[in-house]
């Protein structure tokens, strides 16, 4: 029942967001075009609810000569491909704003497990253990406010599972305001993360 209410909330808030944030969209579009050549938006294949695929939208943060079909976390030195404007967008998470369109279309929700890259098979498999692939993916979620890119895949999946267990209005509100706090502190952002568990039980997840 809550998922139906959640969808109505997503439609209402994404519609309002697109209207209110349109001036910011316009400013960022101009800044991106002036900073480097290439399209304003970047599309990337992601995994949605029930492991369906969709194209997530972001403001482009990398040069057009970046190797194609290679996720950021697989690049040897990703920082050399990130534009000046891109560094600002990633640090402030403003590169994620176009995902409001994904939310309006029903491909994502405002709150939910962050959609995995199509080839993050280990993360997808871990989420299966907790039923985290069977709820709407989100712009932000419980894992994002508890470590974001710093989390090992196993830990991230457990947080996603915890969200599934507690999914409801109160949990979504907690995630929403927790995200604002995390973004203001630029907490847990790691460029070029491997998305795999590393020595010392540490790991990173590509955004």
Tens-place pLDDT, residues 48-94:
999 999 999 999 998 887 766 566 666 667 778 899 999 999 888 89
pLDDT of residue 207: 42
Q: Return the structure tokens found at 83.
A: 């534009």
Q: Are 119 and 16 in contact (CB under 8 A)?
A: no
Whether the CA torsion 16, 22, 28, 33 is positive or negative: it is positive
Q: Return the structure tokens found at 8.
A: 């109505």
pLDDT at 116 over 50: yes
pLDDT at 131 over 60: yes
CA dist list (Å): 195 to 41, 76, 117: 23, 13, 10
Identify the CA nearest to 193 among candidates 132, 152, 158, 143: 152
Supply the DSSP string of 119-140, one letter for each residue: T-HHHHHHHHTTTTTSS--EEE
Backbone angles phi, psi at 143, to 5 degrees: -65, -35
Give me the mean pLDDT over the 5-13 stretch. 96
pLDDT at 102 over 90: yes
Q: Are 34 and 103 in contact (CB under 8 A)?
A: no
Q: 206, exposed or middle or buried, with CB in 10 Å at 0-12, 13-18, 19+?
A: buried
Residues 114 and 123: their CA atoms lie apart, in Å, by 11
Task: Return the higher-pLDDT residue of 192 and 121.
Answer: 121
pLDDT of residue 108: 97
Residues 153 and 62: their CA atoms lie apart, in Å, by 25
Distance in Å from the first CA to the final CA of the chain: 30
- What angle separates helix 169-184 from helix 2-20, to the nearest 10 degrees? 40
Task: Choose the weakest-confidence range: 61-65, 104-108, 112-116, 118-122.
Answer: 61-65
Q: Are 28 and 89 in contact (CB under 8 A)?
A: yes
- pLDDT band, residue 132 (cuts 50/70/90): very high
């Amino acid at each position: 029942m809550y998922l139906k209410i959640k969808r109505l909330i997503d439609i209402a808030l994404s519609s309002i967001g697109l209207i209110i944030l349109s001036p910011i969209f316009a400013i960022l579009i101009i800044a991106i075009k002036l900073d480097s050549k290439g399209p304003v938006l970047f599309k990337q294949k992601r995994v949605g609810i029930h492991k369906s695929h969709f194209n997530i939208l972001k403001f482009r943060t990398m040069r057009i000569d970046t190797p194609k079909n290679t996720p950021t976390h697989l690049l040897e030195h990703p920082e050399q491909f990130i534009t000046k404007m891109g560094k600002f967008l990633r640090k402030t998470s403003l590169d994620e704003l176009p995902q409001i369109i994904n939310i309006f279309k029903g491909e994502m929700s405002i709150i939910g497990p962050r959609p995995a890259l199509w080839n993050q098979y280990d993360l997808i498999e871990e989420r299966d253990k907790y039923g985290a692939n069977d709820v709407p993916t989100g712009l932000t979620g419980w894992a994002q406010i508890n470590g974001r890119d710093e989390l090992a895949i196993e830990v991230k999946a457990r947080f996603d599972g915890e969200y599934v267990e507690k999914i409801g209005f109160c949990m979504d509100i907690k995630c929403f305001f927790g995200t604002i706090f995390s973004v203001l502190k630029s907490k847990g952002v790691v460029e070029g993360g491997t998305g795999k568990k590393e020595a010392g039980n540490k790991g990173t997840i590509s955004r």
